[in-house]
A and B are shown apart, each in its own frame.
Chain A
Amino acid sequence: MRKHITLVLAGLLSLILAACGGQAQQSPTTAPAQPATTAPEQPTAAPAPTAAPAATAAPAGGTPAQPAAGGQIERILARGTLICGVNNNPLPGFATVDAAGVRRGFDVDFCRAVAAALFDDPDKVEYRPLSAQERFTALQTGEIDVLIRNSTWTLGRDGNLGLDWAPTTFYDGQGMMVRKDSGIETLEDMNGATICVQTGTTTELNLADQFRARGLTFTPVVFPDGDSTRAAYDAGQCDGFTTDKSGLISSLTLLSNPADHKILEVTMSKEPLGPSVRQGDPQWFDAVRWIVFATFQAEEYGITSQNVNDFLNSDVPEIRRFLGIEGDLAKGIGLSNDFTVRIIRHVGNYAEIYDRNLGPDTPFNLPRGLNALYTDGGLLYSPPFR
């Protein structure tokens, strides 16, 4: 009898191991399989329709021993769409779905910029809505190509989660929203308060740090998604609601009575938000990085979606290099030479992206602040395109 029990236990353990192994090994096996099924439907991706089987065989056959290393750009091109991880909850200004069912927002525009650089078509994006808790797993397993979901770049995430961060697209800081009638002015007023926060975020950790450092106590109410967190605060189940300041400003518009609430002056942390990719493919990482830089650089040169065609006739060598008219700089990062032109033409430069989603003509009217070019006292600075 006893022997049987140990046997059963051993069997169970092996099953567990098998299950875990099964989950983790999905990524390498499914990733190469996908292009094979979708590529024939995308005549633009394959140079000639007859060559489709050859084109699909190339990414798989190129490096048969290590399917996960490198070749991400080829895989995306063969697939015909970019899979971009975005916020699953509406975050107006950053990622939301408008009345016509079209995704809009600052983060969404960067997804479109990457797609424009790859395909010369910003609509070739498949959006994958992800919660804060799901996002890094989705990226680690290769379910998405790039994560652009107001995610903070930290040392721990960069190092321990197997991710790489492209340049910061939005410099943010953690804030705190309270009711106007609560009389709270500073964090010190919040000793003993109940605070709503979303799990799987840096804000959850900063909140604990900030209160610990000030010797204050608080009761956390922690939800797995942004919608429930905001709803609980709105219902008065929490005295405060904390997340990135941009997130608070955006959430304010979704509260039942926005005029009753205010955002405290205090900034509790640095929250540099930017796109991230899976570690292990430096070329793809470089491509995403330079796509972001291209939007900065375009603003610096004053090139917009309106006037980009005029610049194509420019005599200035550095602009000619930037727009890919001279040289073949983009080859090194696996992109087409005119990728900057594609981005600017379809999505615009950084200022256009910012103003369209967060600027003066939007309900948010966020000042550029740190998110201005270095020439205007901000932090946006692109290395030279040469």
Chain B
Amino acid sequence: MAAGSPPLPSGKVTIPFYRDTRIIAIIVQIVFAIAVAALLWYLYSNMMNGLRQANLLPTFAFLSVPASFPIAESVIPYDPSMTYGRAFLVGILNTVRVAVIGIILATILGLILGIARLSDNWLLRNVALVYVEIVRNVPLLLQLIFWFSLTRLFPRIQESIDVGGLLYLHNRGVTLAWPQAASDFGAWMVWVYGGIVCGVVYYVIRRIQFARRDRPGVAMPQAFLIALGVAVIGFFTTYFVYGAWPVSLSIPELQRFNFVGGVTVTNSFAALLVGLVIYTAVFIGEIVRSGILAVSKGQREAARALGLTPGQTMRLVILPQALRVIIPPLTSQYLNLTKNSSLAVAIAYPDLFYVASTINNQTGQAVPVILMLMASYLSVSLLTSLFMNWYNRRIQLVER
């Protein structure tokens, strides 16, 4: 009806819809969305067609079927009669194990390296430089295979290198004595929990006090000391009351084929951990160095003028400010380490990728297995990012 009426004399010009930028924008977006959806649908139906012809339709039913393949090492109990789902979980935990230990060690080594690169000591500075330049210019896979081959040079298990009867080095890894819970372990655990409660109570009280006085203060180290103190007292008390230590040492003993007792770190795990730590530490070191250099020179001079020692300057003035520059790139190094651990497949460490490949091979369910694999790495990485972003926000300057 409106179209039929003559143009209004007020000078308002009605634009046809196909020249209205707002409507065009909406139409273009709808067309684009449809195109993307059509493409995805085409890819999906094509995949399903191919899989149907090959008699390989995807299903998740295999997850509850016994896996019947062995896995060399596992954090949780596992044997071949358990399901594929359990085997997958073993893979995830093995990846998380190497990633967590690796991230902690790489951070420590990287920090030392970053500071060493800026040291006034010529030798230290150049040793660090050579280390950085060698390690970051050699592919990681090569380094892992190098470390793994190195473990072959150790003697056979029957002729292990014996370090004081507590530590044995051989070409299957390292076996070392390890504390284990004795019969009175429960009695001591009561003390440990008590210590933790004391520490927490102390910390909360102190924080409340600080808040009342409106002055900052430090309570965490004291709280730790209190918890530790109670646990140590409990440790000795348990001994005097029950006449036996709550924790005993499991000493490894060489049986016919392998060590029994103690803890054995396999050569695959050791090589993977060493390789990842040494490689990632280099990048972390460079990040630390750039972070330290980003703190203005005046800060260091002011701290020195106040009479702080070089160590105190670094610990109390430089590093806290450098952290703000360091954390974002550090996060991506943590993610790299986690993802690089999938190279473990080359050196026989049963990480997630390795276990998933075996599952894929035995069941032929490539699509579900790859989807689960991607989802797992994605989850681990997103969780790491989430935590690091939270930490990053926490240490940012609060401006008023």
Contact of A279 with B362 in the complex, beta carbons under 8 Å = no
What CA separation (Å) do A263 and B63 show in the bound complex? 36
Contact of A160 with B363 in the complex, beta carbons under 8 Å = yes
Out of A22, A231, A237, name the residue touching B267 (CB < 8 Å): A237
Out of A12, A212, A235, A237, name the residue touching B80 (CB < 8 Å): A212
Taking the closest CB of chain B, its distance from the CB of A121, in whole angstroms, is: 30
What CA separation (Å) do A222 and B257 show in the bound complex? 17
What CA separation (Å) do A28 and B70 show in the bound complex? 35
Docked complex: B15-61 residues within 8 A CB-CB of A = 36, 39-40, 43-44, 46-47, 49-51, 53-56
Contact of B346 with A222 in the complex, beta carbons under 8 Å = no
Interface: A232 (CB within 8 A): yes
Contact of B366 with A17 in the complex, beta carbons under 8 Å = no
Contact of A24 with B47 in the complex, beta carbons under 8 Å = yes
Docked complex: A181-230 residues within 8 A CB-CB of B = 190, 192-194, 199-200, 204-205, 207-209, 212, 218-224, 228
Out of B70, B172, B371, name the residue touching A16 (CB < 8 Å): B371
Docked complex: B333-365 residues within 8 A CB-CB of A = 345-346, 348, 350, 354, 357-358, 360-364
B interface footprint on A229-265 (CB within 8 Å = 1, 0 otherwise): 0011001110100000000000000000000000000
Out of B50, B70, B157, name the residue touching A222 (CB < 8 Å): B70
- A206's nearest neighbour on chain B, judged by CB, is B68
Interface: A332 (CB within 8 A): no
Contact of B70 with A24 in the complex, beta carbons under 8 Å = no
Complex contacts, A280 vs chain B, CB 8 Å: 53-55
Interface: B374 (CB within 8 A): yes
Out of A192, A208, A232, name the residue touching B255 (CB < 8 Å): A192
Given A136-B364, A161-B56, A208-B40 contact (CB < 8 Å): no
Taking the closest CB of chain A, its distance from the CB of B375, in whole angstroms, is: 8
B interface footprint on A132-176 (CB within 8 Å = 1, 0 otherwise): 110011001000000000000000110111100000000000000
What is the interface of chain B mostly: helix, strand, loop, or mixed? helix
Interface: B75 (CB within 8 A): no
Contact of A220 with B53 in the complex, beta carbons under 8 Å = no
What CA separation (Å) do A209 and B68 show in the bound complex? 7
Out of B40, B50, B348, B358, name the residue touching A28 (CB < 8 Å): B50
Interface: A278 (CB within 8 A): yes
Complex contacts, A383 vs chain B, CB 8 Å: none
Contact of B172 with A208 in the complex, beta carbons under 8 Å = no
- B171's nearest neighbour on chain A, judged by CB, is A237
Contact of B350 with A222 in the complex, beta carbons under 8 Å = yes
Complex contacts, A132 vs chain B, CB 8 Å: 361
Taking the closest CB of chain A, its distance from the CB of B302, in whole angstroms, is: 39
What CA separation (Å) do A12 and B374 show in the bound complex? 11
- B70's nearest neighbour on chain A, judged by CB, is A220
Contact of A68 with B378 in the complex, beta carbons under 8 Å = no
Q: How large is the interface on A (under 10, 10 to 19, 20 to 34, 35 or more residues)?
A: 35 or more
Out of A136, A199, A279, name the residue touching B55 (CB < 8 Å): A279
Interface: B370 (CB within 8 A): yes
Contact of A21 with B357 in the complex, beta carbons under 8 Å = no
Docked complex: A1-34 residues within 8 A CB-CB of B = 12, 14, 16-18, 20-22, 24-25, 27-28
Contact of A194 with B257 in the complex, beta carbons under 8 Å = yes
Taking the closest CB of chain B, its distance from the CB of A141, in whole angstroms, is: 9
Taking the closest CB of chain B, its distance from the CB of A169, in whole angstroms, is: 22
Contact of B40 with A14 in the complex, beta carbons under 8 Å = yes
Out of A24, A207, A219, A224, name the residue touching B50 (CB < 8 Å): A24
Out of B56, B172, B360, name the residue touching A162 (CB < 8 Å): B56
What CA separation (Å) do A218 and B55 show in the bound complex? 36
Interface: A66 (CB within 8 A): yes
- A207's nearest neighbour on chain B, judged by CB, is B70
A-B contact count (CB 8 A): 145
Contact of B70 with A133 in the complex, beta carbons under 8 Å = no
What CA separation (Å) do A54 and B366 show in the bound complex? 37
Out of B44, B71, B81, name the residue touching A17 (CB < 8 Å): B44
Interface: B256 (CB within 8 A): yes
Complex contacts, B136 vs chain A, CB 8 Å: none
Interface: A370 (CB within 8 A): no
Complex contacts, A239 vs chain B, CB 8 Å: 257
Complex contacts, B222 vs chain A, CB 8 Å: none
Complex contacts, A25 vs chain B, CB 8 Å: 43, 46-47, 50
Given A133-B357, A199-B358, A236-B157, A20-B370 contact (CB < 8 Å): yes
Contact of A27 with B255 in the complex, beta carbons under 8 Å = no
Interface: A312 (CB within 8 A): no
What CA separation (Å) do A307 and B7 show in the bound complex? 101
B interface footprint on A357-373 (CB within 8 Å = 1, 0 otherwise): 00000000000000000
- A179's nearest neighbour on chain B, judged by CB, is B156
Interface: B367 (CB within 8 A): yes
Interface: B304 (CB within 8 A): no
What CA separation (Å) do A66 and B43 show in the bound complex? 16
Out of B69, B157, B348, B371, name the residue touching A223 (CB < 8 Å): B348
Taking the closest CB of chain A, its distance from the CB of B344, in whole angstroms, is: 11
Taking the closest CB of chain A, its distance from the CB of B337, in whole angstroms, is: 21
Contact of A21 with B171 in the complex, beta carbons under 8 Å = no
Interface: A69 (CB within 8 A): yes
What CA separation (Å) do A242 and B371 show in the bound complex? 32
Contact of A162 with B54 in the complex, beta carbons under 8 Å = yes
Complex contacts, B156 vs chain A, CB 8 Å: 236
Taking the closest CB of chain A, its distance from the CB of B62, in whole angstroms, is: 8
Complex contacts, A208 vs chain B, CB 8 Å: 68-70, 80
Interface: B72 (CB within 8 A): yes
Most A CB within 10 A of own CB, among B40, B54, B267, B374: B54
Contact of A199 with B361 in the complex, beta carbons under 8 Å = yes
What CA separation (Å) do A18 and B260 show in the bound complex? 49
Contact of B366 with A137 in the complex, beta carbons under 8 Å = yes
- A192's nearest neighbour on chain B, judged by CB, is B257
What CA separation (Å) do A258 and B322 show in the bound complex? 60
Interface: B393 (CB within 8 A): no
Out of B53, B79, B358, B361, name the residue touching A68 (CB < 8 Å): B53
Taking the closest CB of chain B, its distance from the CB of A258, in whole angstroms, is: 18
- 20 extra interface residue pairs, beta carbon distance < 8 Å, beyond A24-B366, A28-B50, A140-B366: A16-B371, A16-B375, A17-B43, A18-B43, A20-B47, A22-B43, A25-B43, A68-B53, A137-B360, A199-B357, A205-B80, A209-B80, A219-B72, A220-B72, A222-B350, A224-B345, A224-B357, A231-B152, A239-B257, A279-B54
Chain A residues packing against B (C-beta within 8 Å): 12, 14, 16-18, 20-22, 24-25, 27-28, 66, 68-69, 132-133, 136-137, 140, 156-157, 159-162, 190, 192-194, 199-200, 204-205, 207-209, 212, 218-224, 228, 231-232, 235-237, 239, 278-280
Sample (20) of A-B pairs whose CB atoms are under 8 Å apart: A14-B40, A17-B43, A17-B44, A18-B40, A21-B43, A24-B46, A28-B50, A140-B56, A159-B55, A161-B364, A162-B54, A162-B364, A193-B256, A200-B358, A204-B70, A205-B362, A219-B72, A222-B358, A279-B54, A280-B54
